[in-house]
Structure 1
Amino acid sequence: MKNLKVAVNTIGCRMNQFESSAIEEKFFEKGYQITDFEDIADIYIINTCTVTNDADRTSRKIIRKAKKQNPRAVVVATGCYAQVKPEELAKMEEIDIVVGNSHKTDILDIVENYINEKFQEKILVNNIFRENDFKTFQISTFFEGARPILKVQEGCNSFCSFCIIPFARGKVRSAKIEDIVNQAKILAERGYKEIVLTGTQLSQYGYDHKEGYLLDLLKKLSEIENLKRIRLSSMGINELNDELIDFITENPKIAKHFHLSIQSADDKVLKDMRRDYTVKDYIKVVEKILKKAPETAIGTDIITGFPTEDKTAFENSLKNIEKIPFAYIHVFTYSEREGTIATKLKSVVSPQEKKERTQILRDISYQKNLEFRRKFLQKEMEFLIISEKDGKKIGLTSNYIHAYIETEKDINQFVNAKLSILGKEREDNIAVEC
């Protein structure tokens, strides 16, 4: 086995990136050679995505490419597509093994058994989440430049009408606070200044084991002396109570950056999406945050072209979006997913309207991001040097402003600088060291 080459291809979200890294690490520790996906490998593992139809097509395309590169290779399909539609993938002649998210941690053993037993038929691993999975969730770490990203939670207990994720990722599972704190301490001792906490629905952290929730975790992490900044990934407003908001906005170690998905700014569409809040509820939370910490960056996700988003709903959504001081907006075009409730809704939005609405919102996002950054021109801010591009250092502020920094300081160091020039993109900003 030691001479076998393994290549992993990742499609989709950060969760898949984390898990692909963990898969590679397991194979590497067992003596396998990890190689680039473009190389000739003995084992190809495709970590699939199913968030859109395009993601399904991309997954199938890469699977075919793998078998074409080496017809004798063992090709494994895992990830969300493999979890939700295992039988569909198993019909592909290029695939040898289909492993859902539920058994993703067992891929090494499954592949070795397949090779040792010299199976002639496909293996389709049971894709039902096991009860034990909810008790043994392990924290994993992925590095993005100078920032370690800790996956501390997976799964979601919400069932939005458009979303396949609860079916693909299962119910909420959370790592133990003690394990997360120990990992964060190790990273801080190694000199990392900022960590990012992420999960499928981070604000639902702890909803499974009841041993502590996000607030309890943040209190413990903020006590780590050498850890200077903690950043939170996407959260839902329903889990943000006053105590949690107060702690985040008042604690200097926690980045002043909230990513709060709204998905639509029209109440009727939100109801059809089963989002369980109103636009007024959302605005109330944003206002509460900005009153406590006015410099905070508020980011969001919005879906355009949901089946019931008629012209009136879209126009109403635009009016509300204009009122909310977003620092940026991630815009997604609605894509029907088999197995979700939204597929039963008759669409009133044409493909062309979806395309036009997506562009309108992307233009609004650009203007809002420009307005947000403009508020900090000529103001001294603290940047963490997170990477280098074309010989220039890139810094990141607590409130998610990226900029090229004119400094001699190295990556993973803080520098105080004034934002002097705003470019078209977030990294076109130029900051001069004070």
Structure 2
Amino acid sequence: MENSMKVAFSTLGCRMNQFETSALEEKFSNKGYQIIPFDEKADIYIVNTCTVTNDADRTSRKVLRQAKRRNPNAIVVATGCYAQVSPEKLAQIDEIDLVIGNSHKTTVYEIVENYINERKEEKVFIDNIFRKNEFETFQISTFYEGARPILKVQEGCNSFCSFCIIPFARGKVRSAKIEDIENQVKILVNKGFKEIVLTGTQLSQYGYDHKEGYLYNLLKRLINIKELYRIRLSSMGINEIDENLLSLLTSEEKIAPHFHLSMQSASDKVLKDMKRNYTVSQYIDIVNKILKRRPETAIGTDIITGFPTETREEFEKSVKIIKEIPFAYMHIFTYSQRENTSAVKFGDKVHPTEKKERTKILRKISEEKNYNFRKKYLNKDLEVLIIGEKNGKKLGLTGNYIHINFDSDKDINEITYVNMFKIEKDREKNFGKEVIK
């Protein structure tokens, strides 16, 4: 099917948006549209927006306006989280023709087609209600990050932390069926892929919307797939890690010893105000249990600086605790006040300069922790999966998330051993020599 119309996509924000843009590109391409770079002149521009911070909102608006300037006659579509949370605000922007929230993102193609066929000239935004049937029809989707397939098996979150806009932008938990995920993994394994990454808005809440079972049940099914080499899990919350899941994560070799456990703060007072529903000691207990049972594990985390009730004293106490926790890396975020979240009642009390300083301090600690984590594996033979090529060298990935550059005649998706002899401050600048075993 041929179509003379050109469509360009821009993706802002998280990996979820990358997944969904990839799916939309495939849909438009299959219908005959020509996919072109966003900086070229297109007939349709689709911007997958982000709203996690005020800066993300501003960037989304900027990109949407730039699209219309590139071609004043183009149809400019805003979709994604900003479109879900603030459709009326986006509808007021002259350069935007269509506003389609996450609740209708899977039908963007049909909505755009209808808009074109009816030759509408007025601005349109689609109501942004997550309906019951959308919970029932959630479909697994696949996104490729280089040679690694990443499966989106869950979306939404039921936690409603006080700082977070995501439950409003993504809705409550919806999960793909275990059988569908198992079948998709088998297809990917048969194609030669060895590592599969499972991801979702809050992966550890997988299955909260149906009676098939939770993440534990899903993993038990997947590890029985004979040729599957490794499953890697995306971000999880400790509240959902019970003893059964913890035992599986720390005993099953097919599950990568790499767990991203969002902490957000090392202050009990701030955690309570964030509505995180755990204490610092409970978080540390989970980390210690994992590392005791599986010492090679890489533990990553998220930390927010500058939350309204984080005083300088609370921050300094947090820093002392964070330094003691054996994180392999940390993602540091600066607090941004979001409308509709309950943290708005606290105001935005921390001065921007102070927020910037705290963020800088924690990022430096993160760099040191990551360097020290990798340093433990210097001059050791490490099993790696070749996931790509970079600057003429193969790029290998260990189970505990160390990227190593080395020379090899082996192909992508093959397993080999590498002696890591050099590391630099940059977390991906690790160099090794292949070891034949």
Report the TM-score, using the length of structure 1 for normalisation. Answer: 0.99
In structure 2, the partner of 1:70 is 71
In structure 2, the partner of 1:165 is 166
In structure 2, the partner of 1:408 is 409
Deviations 1:193-224 (A, max 9, x none): 10100000000000001212101111111111
In structure 2, the partner of 1:305 is 306
Residue 373 (structure 1) aligned with residue 367 (structure 2): no
In structure 2, the partner of 1:22 is 23
Deviations 1:306-348 (A, max 9, x none): 0010011101101110111000000001111111111110344
Distance in 2 separating the partners of 1:232 and 1:329: 16
Is contact 2:139–2:176 with CA below 8 Å preserved after alignment? yes
TM-superposed deviation, 1:364: 0.4
Residue 425 (structure 1) aligned with residue 426 (structure 2): yes
Distance in 2 separating the partners of 1:155 and 1:210: 17
Distance in 2 separating the partners of 1:428 and 1:115: 49
Distance in 2 separating the partners of 1:186 and 1:273: 41
TM-superposed deviation, 1:418: 1.3
In structure 1, the partner of 2:272 is 271
Check 1:55–1:347 CA distance in 2 against 1; reply closer, same or farther (3 A cut): closer
| Structure 1 SS opposite 2:216 | helix
- Equivalence map 1:269-418=2 (5 Å): 269-418=270-419
Q: Which amino acid aligns with 1:297?
A: A
What is the number of equivalent residue pairs in this alignment?
Answer: 434
TM-superposed deviation, 1:426: 1.6
- Equivalence map 1:75-86=2 (5 Å): 75-86=76-87
Is contact 1:310–1:348 with CA below 8 Å preserved after alignment? no
TM-superposed deviation, 1:387: 1.6
TM-superposed deviation, 1:99: 0.3
Is contact 1:403–1:426 with CA below 8 Å preserved after alignment? no
Matched-pair identity in %: 67
Q: Is there any run of 5+ residues in structure 2 with no aligned partner, and where?
A: none
The farther-off stretch of 391-400 and 156-165 is 391-400
TM-superposed deviation, 1:271: 0.4
TM-superposed deviation, 1:255: 0.2
Is contact 1:304–1:331 with CA below 8 Å preserved after alignment? yes
Residue 223 (structure 1) aligned with residue 221 (structure 2): no
TM-superposed deviation, 1:21: 0.7
- Equivalence map 1:116-127=2 (5 Å): 116-127=117-128
Kindly report the root-mean-square deviation, in angstroms, between the aligned alpha carbons of the 2 structures. 0.9
Distance in 2 separating the partners of 1:267 and 1:387: 42
Q: Which amino acid aligns with 1:234?
A: S
The farther-off stretch of 160-169 and 404-413 is 404-413
TM-superposed deviation, 1:28: 1.1
The farther-off stretch of 379-388 and 294-303 is 379-388
| Structure 1 SS opposite 2:13 | coil
Q: Which amino acid aligns with 2:354?
A: E
| Structure 2 SS opposite 1:427 | coil
| Structure 1 SS opposite 2:428 | helix
Check 1:70–1:348 CA distance in 2 against 1; reply closer, same or farther (3 A cut): closer
TM-superposed deviation, 1:409: 1.5
- Equivalence map 1:40-55=2 (5 Å): 40-55=41-56
The farther-off stretch of 389-398 and 402-411 is 402-411
TM-superposed deviation, 1:406: 2.5
Distance in 2 separating the partners of 1:205 and 1:35: 35
Distance in 1 separating the partners of 2:179 and 2:406: 36
Is contact 2:84–2:169 with CA below 8 Å preserved after alignment? yes
Report the TM-score, using the length of structure 2 for normalisation. Answer: 0.98
Distance in 1 separating the partners of 2:314 and 2:347: 15
Is contact 2:337–2:348 with CA below 8 Å preserved after alignment? no
TM-superposed deviation, 1:419: 1.3
Distance in 2 separating the partners of 1:314 and 1:388: 41
Distance in 2 separating the partners of 1:339 and 1:394: 43
Distance in 1 separating the partners of 2:108 and 2:141: 16
Is contact 1:193–1:412 with CA below 8 Å preserved after alignment? yes
In structure 1, the partner of 2:189 is 188
Q: Is there any run of 5+ residues in structure 1 with no aligned partner, and where?
A: none
Distance in 1 separating the partners of 2:107 and 2:124: 13
Distance in 1 separating the partners of 2:259 and 2:83: 32
| Structure 1 SS opposite 2:161 | coil
Q: Which amino acid aligns with 1:148?
A: P
Distance in 1 separating the partners of 2:82 and 2:348: 24
TM-superposed deviation, 1:170: 0.2
Residue 205 (structure 1) aligned with residue 211 (structure 2): no
Distance in 1 separating the partners of 2:27 and 2:94: 27
Is contact 1:308–1:346 with CA below 8 Å preserved after alignment? no
Q: Which amino acid aligns with 1:73?
A: A
Distance in 2 separating the partners of 1:131 and 1:177: 20
